[in-house]
Structure 1
Amino acid sequence: MTGWWRILPLLVVLAAPAAAQELRAQLSPRDFTTLAAEIGAKVEKVGAREGERFKKGDTLIAFDCSIQRAQMAEARAALGATEKTVAVNSRLLELQTIGKLESDVAQAERDKARAKVDASGAVLGKCTVPAPFDGRVVEQKVRAQQYVQPGQALLDILDDSVLELDFIVPSKWLVWLKPGHLFQVAMDETAKTYPVKLTRIGARIDPVSQSVKVTGAIGGHFPELAAGMSGKVLLSPPP
């Protein structure tokens, strides 16, 4: 007779359900960026500091552009002078007292002066840095009266109006886990649970871990939540 009691412990282990996998997730903002200077100038004013909120279109950074404004005035004066020259030459050309070449040269000078006005206007448009969306300042990298160079980072900002939840799930869950799936997450920092809706699934499955990154959006507005918080996803495959 076979000693079945000898293999019974092994059968029990194989039949026991595997421990539930804990899914950890982190909150991230929907949009975030680093604003940088597009001109070299002195910072005149910082419109929002670290942690402060702002609205789309608010001036976050204003530069001292007195030199650029003077250059614009000079370009406009030059344009006015060339336009008068073109007008006079046009009349003289009708009277055949000047040649067409001289008239064409005057028109070219006018066009060049107009281009300088446009260029000066483009530079003046960079003298303020508007907010690209509603949000908050994460980090202030410059101070008032500081001179900055083109390309220098000014502010790190984020849009926390919609917070997203990023986490990893087994790739075999994709059989049933689809965008629109509703679940909850328990956040460590607040000790509360919040509703989540799956919004998108990563485009690539990790071949080693057989897992994929998914993202969900917190449903509703909860002032106590902030980007960077983490928690446990309350999600499990159907029986």
Structure 2
Amino acid sequence: MLRRFLLVLAVTLPGAAWAQAPQGDIRAQLTPRDYTTLAAEIGAKVEKIAVREGERFTKGQTLIAFDCSVQRAQLTEARATLSAAEKTVAVNKRLLELQTIGKLEYDLAQAEVDKARAKDSAGAAVVAKCQVPAPFDGRVVEQKARSQQFVQPGQALLDILDDTELEVDFVVPSKWLIWLKPGYAFQVVIDETTRTYPVKLVRAGARIDPVSQTVRMMGTIGGRFPELSAGMSGKVLLTPPP
């Protein structure tokens, strides 16, 4: 009887100990909601970089400007060609009405207008890429290009992130999904500031790790705290219900 009791005790104790796991065992990291690497879409010389590493910017602000004197000249030429082609079509339309020219000649002139308009649109699209605007409010993580440097299409320019809303990224046992749902409020203690911040769970990971039986969780810090930065870590204060 005693042996059976000890066997049951040995089986149940690990589960009970896990359910009462200390809060400090759950580590968390602050991650930005949005982050990206801005790259050049055209081959050109960097004329100006408006922000440097660590500096803040606002959505729509021009972060990088290229020297596009050649591209702008090509756009001016394309627009002049389009204007001339449109005038030719206008004249040919009147001549066609007077039966001075044939329909084929008029159609060829109209085709030249379409071709010139396409070049104008292409040139305008290239010139629009001479400035790189900020896709969101945020900060510069790393500057990968320098002023007066010639860059190629696809070359990385700036690593940026949005730290206006930081997420708390952590991992918990998958069994906690029974009670840990989006909207659940808890707290996190950040090591770098030694302060406690309110967090609300926003989503759970889409897949449970089959080996560790854990799942990734993401929450958001409630409020604005200028002292917090992406990459900081801390401890999640969560206690499973009885």
TM superposition score category, shorter chain reference: over 0.9
TM-score (norm 2): 0.92
Query: Could you list the runs of 5+ residues in structure 2 that have no partner in the other structure?
Result: none
Residue 11 of structure 1, CA deviation: 5.7
SS in structure 1 of the partner of residue 164 of structure 2: strand
| Map of 2:131 onto structure 1 | 128
- Which residue, out of 211, 216, 220, partners 1:213? 216
1:31 has 2:34 as partner? yes
| Map of 1:102 onto structure 2 | 105
Q: Which amino acid aligns with 2:113?
A: R
How far apart in 1 are the matches of 2:149 and 2:13?
A: 69
1:145 has 2:148 as partner? yes
Aligned residues: 235
| Alpha-carbon displacement from aligned partner over 1:29-50 (angstroms, at most 9, x marks no partner) | 0100001110000000001110
How far apart in 2 are the matches of 1:24 and 1:15?
A: 24
Residue 97 of structure 1, CA deviation: 1.3
Residue 12 of structure 1, CA deviation: 9.1
How far apart in 2 are the matches of 1:11 and 1:113?
A: 85
Matches within 5 A, 1:105-116: 105-116=108-119
Matches within 5 A, 1:1-239: 18=17, 20-21=21-22, 22-239=25-242
| Alpha-carbon displacement from aligned partner over 1:8-41 (angstroms, at most 9, x marks no partner) | 8x96996585262510010000100001110000
TM-score (norm 1): 0.93
SS in structure 2 of the partner of residue 209 of structure 1: coil
Residue 77 of structure 1, CA deviation: 1.0
Query: Which of structure 1's runs of 4+ aligned residues deviate more than 3 A?
Result: 10-17
| Alpha-carbon displacement from aligned partner over 1:108-159 (angstroms, at most 9, x marks no partner) | 0011001111110000110000000000000010011000000001100000
Identity, % of aligned positions = 74
